[in-house]
Amino acid sequence: QAKQAGKRGYRFFNAEEERSQRHRHGHVARLADALRQGELVLHYQPQVDLRAGRVVGAEALIRWQHPQRGLLGPADFLPQIDDAELIESVGDWVIEQALSQLDVWHLAGQRLPVSVNIAGRHLQARDFVDRLRAAQARHPAVADLLALEVLETTALEDIVRTARVIDDCRALGVSVALDDFGAGYSSLSYLKRLPIELIKIDLGFVRELPTDLDNLIIVRGVIELARAFGRQVLAEGIESPLHGRMLLQLDGDLAQGHGIARPMPAGDWLPWLAAWRPDPSWQAVAALHWS
């Protein structure tokens, strides 16, 4: 213990670390500016029911329209702020932006749920639920269409607190999904302690369905497990119509992935919805297996 404290004491004398700290602070400052200057945008990726051949919602995914570097994905700028206060401001902006977009679509006569990703630190913040309630109050017509996605790994960090926050969210009509399920080291028994409605199977398993048969067993297992606990289950990483057929054969139905559509700017959403048709092979498989 003393040794550790001593180690920490040397922190500021470590030039390497100091440089990386300063680098990080620079990044946080630039991202805070980007947020203020409106350079962050949300793209939307559809979530569909393969069996019914219906679009059931969309996931909002953040992008940074960087003036020099172009459109950046979250992997390029979120990890550096994951444990900084800024992740809460970004998350609040994401919720507000998604609700504003929902209002626009609502006025256009289209009402489908949108889920947003919430960082662990944000979800655990003392006033998270109050701020969520306030955001809903600013968008009463669509407040019930908002849903949250929380990473399996962060949900399990403090399972008692997470369960309580999820309960509070559900009381506001906001359902919560467990994201990237299977990617972490969760104990399956934890699943029943979290009042989540939807389990999202990590795309790592789903993407390799056609090429690595072990994943078949895993995906089928997760689907069965989710059902046994009365939860819905969605497969991320449906990269082709074949992935969709395989999911249907494993008794899955909810799906998301490049084989259905890539995340798109908000402006593309309504035209995409109007034009989308499910792959004909999905209905054939669904009829064959589950009629």
CB nearer to ligand C2E: give 7 or 69.
Answer: 69
Question: In whole angstroms, how close is the CB of 267 to ligand C2E at the nearest point?
Answer: 17
Q: Does residue 61 interact with ligand C2E by CB under 6 A?
A: yes
Selected binder of ligand C2E within 263, 269, 278, 285 (CB under 6 A): 263
Look at residue 57 and give the partner it binds from ligand C2E, Mg ion, none, a contact being a CB closer than 5 to 8 Å depending on partner kind: none
Q: Could you tell me the smallest distance in angstroms from the CB atom of residue 122 to ligand C2E?
A: 7
Q: Is 119 in the site for ligand C2E (CB under 6 A)?
A: yes
Residues 6+ apart with CB under 8 A from 221: none
- Answer with the entry of ligand C2E, Mg ion, none that 253 interacts with (C-beta below 5 to 8 A by kind): none
Q: Output 144 or 239, the one with its CB closest to ligand C2E.
A: 239
- Asked if 149 touches Mg ion (CB under 5 A), the answer is yes
Site for ligand C2E in 174-213 (CB under 6 A): 179-180, 203, 207
Long-range CB contact pairs, 165-169, < 8 A, 24+: 165/123, 165/124, 165/128, 165/129, 166/194, 166/195, 166/196, 167/195, 168/129, 169/129, 169/132
Q: CA-to-CA distance for 95 and 207, rounded, in angstroms?
A: 29
Contact, 92 vs 135, CB < 8 A? Answer: yes
| 152 contacts ligand C2E (rule: CB under 6 A) | no
* Site size for ligand C2E (CB under 6 A): 25
Ramachandran bin of 267, using left for φ above 0, alpha for ψ from -120 to 50, beta for the remaining angles = alpha
Does residue 253 touch Mg ion according to CB under 5 A?
no
Cα 266 from Cα 67, distance rounded (Å): 20
Instruction: Assess 257 for contact with ligand C2E (CB under 6 A).
Output: yes
Q: Out of ligand C2E, Mg ion, none, which partner does residue 61 contact, by CB within 5 to 8 A per kind?
A: ligand C2E
Cα–Cα distances (Å) from 285 to 204, 212, 236, 282, in that order, read 23, 21, 19, 5
Interface with ligand C2E (CB under 6 A), residue from 239, 251, 268, 279: 239
Is the C-alpha dihedral spanning 24, 29, 34, 36 positive or negative? positive
Q: Alpha-carbon distance 29 to 126, whole Å?
A: 24
Which span sits near ligand C2E by CB under 6 A: 9-17, 21-29, 112-120, 264-272? Answer: 112-120
Q: Is 163 within 8 Å of 192 (Cβ atoms)?
A: no
Sorted by sequence, the CB contacts under 8 Å of residue 272 that are 6+ apart come out as: 46, 261, 264
Q: Would you count residue 62 as binding ligand C2E (CB under 6 A)? A: yes
Residues 14-33 that bind ligand C2E (CB under 6 A): none
Q: State the residues that interact with ligand C2E by CB under 6 A.
A: 45, 61-62, 73-75, 78, 91, 94, 116-117, 119, 149, 179-180, 203, 207, 236-239, 256-258, 263
